Chain A
Amino acid sequence: MKIVATDRIGKEHIVEGRDGWSVMEILRDAGLPIAAECGGACACATCHVYVTDGWYEKLTPPSDAEIDMLDMALAVEPTSRLSCQIVCADELDGIKVTVAPE
């Protein structure tokens, strides 16, 4: 599967996802500016992305823990998600995300 990720300067990156990995891990390893301070524990909101182009609705809805964490994120939009909570899977092939501002 592929992830289409737009960074903070608007540049698009197409990166190969890995089944079972989180989108955060893929973006971080691809060198996108994802701090992921807590290492994927849904505890810091520094892997905040906007899920665009209709992909938001295709995701499993956020857990209460993620909704709580998004309350402490900046510049939250209706399609905000924490990328550590999105797990790569074939049905997400082509998912579009934009890294949220710091």
Chain B
Amino acid sequence: MSTPIETDVAIIGAGPIGLFAVFELGLLDLKCHLVDILDRPGGQCTELYPEKPIYDIPGLPIVTGQELTNRLLEQVKPFSPTFHFGEMAAGLERLADGRWKLKTDADTEIVAPVIVVAAGGGSFVPKRPPVPGIEAFENKGDGVGVHYAVRKMESFRGKNILIAGGGDSALDWTINLAPLAKSLTLVHHRDGFRAAQHSVNQMRELEKSGKVKFHVASVKAIHGDENGALNAVTLAGADKKEWLHEIDAFLPFFGLTIKLGPIAEFGLNLHENLIPVDTARFESSTPGIFAIGDINTYTGKLKLILSGFHEAALMAQAAFHICKPNEKLRFQYTTSSSSLQKKLGVNA
């Protein structure tokens, strides 16, 4: 285990609100570490709608999710935040000195007096097909059972594989695993794919050569032996006819969905999966833990990016007093303060 990182503020979520929090905290000389389960910044903006225009960001009449993220990254650059991407905030504990220790599923430990939950709707996690009992076949080891991602291709050599889905991931893994597999079957709800055309062409070639079997079908049931090892699924075709299909591994690729995840276990007061906060500090009922953006709730809450920006600014003022209890907060404007301008690396 590595030694814990010590910082002023640990932010859960690197979406637009988490990023803007870095800016507001940075103006007050507070350093931030951000944790995000995704492998890049932007949260929903870049994961769900990177190319869709947003029209209600003050001062930006039209901006895409990706552009807004890029602008925010540029804005926070002077404060050199540290990002921990591809890591899920997994646990939170209070230390004897009153600070918090945030642990990730990659065993990163961040110790800070202030935690800011800017997690939107929670963590992006793979969609789990609604097949009864599927959970029992997850995490059963390399190459067997149910996998939502491929980490070691080699572990699927010589296996009977079933892939479900019609997007790029489903087709890419069909193409990559077909040469290794004993057999590979792809199922999708229609005879068409949203994936890149060259991938579709490659898959059709593999189908023609017999390396891949494709069915318009869906998985209805999953079956294991007495030791809990996966051995077959029941497939249902477009005509509702069902048949048993023997497999070693099942790889569903239906993209990501948002689940609250381990935040639910942090011991915070929750209301319908949201964190109630006061509207002066945006602090949860647990002192030192703040919640901003879509994850919080209060009377009059609107789930808008601009509301999250406001929440970040007020949160930062309160966080300052926790991080620097003996210092006086000097409220300044970036337009007139030479010390703020110095922090931002600009010369007025």
Which residues of A are interface residues toward B (Cβ below 8 A)? 35, 37-39, 41, 43-46, 67-68, 70-78, 80, 101-102
Contacts and interface: CB of A to CB of B under 8 A. Distances in A.
Interface in B120-142: 121, 127-130
Interface of B: 44, 48-49, 52, 121, 127-130, 165-167, 188-190, 192-194, 218, 238, 254-255, 257-258, 303
Given A76-B189, A76-B218, A78-B238, A41 B254 contact: no
B167 A41 contact: no
A41 B167 CA distance: 19
9 contacts: A45-B255, A68-B194, A71-B167, A71-B188, A71-B193, A72-B127, A72-B166, A72-B167, A80-B189
Contacts of A77: 189
Given A37-B121, A37-B257, A76-B218, A71 B166 contact: yes
Contacts of A101: 130
Contacts of A39: 303
A75 to B, nearest CB: 5
A74 B129 contact: yes
Given A37-B258, A41-B52, A71-B165, 9 more contacts: A35-B257, A38-B49, A41-B49, A67-B194, A71-B190, A71-B194, A73-B254, A74-B129, A76-B189
| Interface residues of chain B: helix, strand, loop or mixed (majority) | loop
Given A37-B121, A71-B193, A73-B254, A44 B48 contact: yes
Given A71-B188, A75-B130, A43 B48 contact: yes
B48 A41 contact: yes
A89 B112 CA distance: 54
Contact of B44 (A38, A71, A102): A38
Nearest to A69: B194
Contacts of B257: 35, 37, 44, 46
Nearest to A100: B130
Contacts of A41: 48-49, 52
B343 to A, nearest CB: 35
Contact of B129 (A38, A70, A71, A75): A75
The 3 A-B pairs with the shortest beta carbon distances in the complex, nearest first, are: A76-B189, A101-B130, A71-B166
A66 B188 CA distance: 16
A28 B132 CA distance: 26
Contact of A37 (B48, B52, B238): B48
Contacts of B121: 37
A74 B254 contact: yes
A96 B121 CA distance: 29
Contacts of A102: 130
B216 to A, nearest CB: 10
B222 to A, nearest CB: 14
Contacts of A72: 127, 165-167, 194, 254-255
